[in-house]
Amino acid sequence: MKPVRRFAAWFAVAAAAIALAAPATHATLVHQYTFDADNVHDSVGGLNGTVVGTLAFDSLDPKQGTKAAVFSGDDYVDFASSAFSASQFTVTLWVKPATSSLSFVEPFIANKGGGGVD
């Protein structure tokens, strides 16, 4: 078989394999919370959070937007239990800890009653 025919045969097999492969899944922004308006407003998906405790808002050093939420003590944001129904999702956030300890990381992601952090 000539090199050109070998390449054509290989290319046809590769194209068929690619066509049979599952389509790629692309990430889509589902929720966005900027904390710019002294509340937990979802500017993309409409799933607003409920502040539990007293959540302060600081405008001294936000990395994006005009304000930053300041969590201290037992303050947190609660969402409906079905808010994140996907089996896999990614959370991205800016964090400026008041301490150099990494113990602040654990409370950010919690799954009530689902085997996560309570």
Q: How far apart are CA 86 and CA 59, in angstroms?
A: 33
- Which comes out higher in pLDDT, residue 59 or 18? 59
Examine residue 64 and state whether it is found in any structural domain, yes or no. Answer: yes
- Which comes out higher in pLDDT, residue 4 or 90? 90
Examine residue 51 and state whether it is found in any structural domain, yes or no. Answer: yes
Give the structural domain span for 47. 25-118
Examine residue 67 and state whether it is found in any structural domain, yes or no. Answer: yes
The confidence score (pLDDT) of residue 32 equals: 84
What pTM, to 2 d.p., does this model score? 0.52
Examine residue 4 and state whether it is found in any structural domain, yes or no. Answer: no
User: pLDDT-derived band of residue 74, with 50, 70 and 90 as boundaries?
Assistant: confident
Examine residue 36 and state whether it is found in any structural domain, yes or no. Answer: yes
The confidence score (pLDDT) of residue 50 equals: 84
The structural domain count of the chain equals 1
Task: Flag whether pLDDT at 114 surpasses 60.
Answer: no
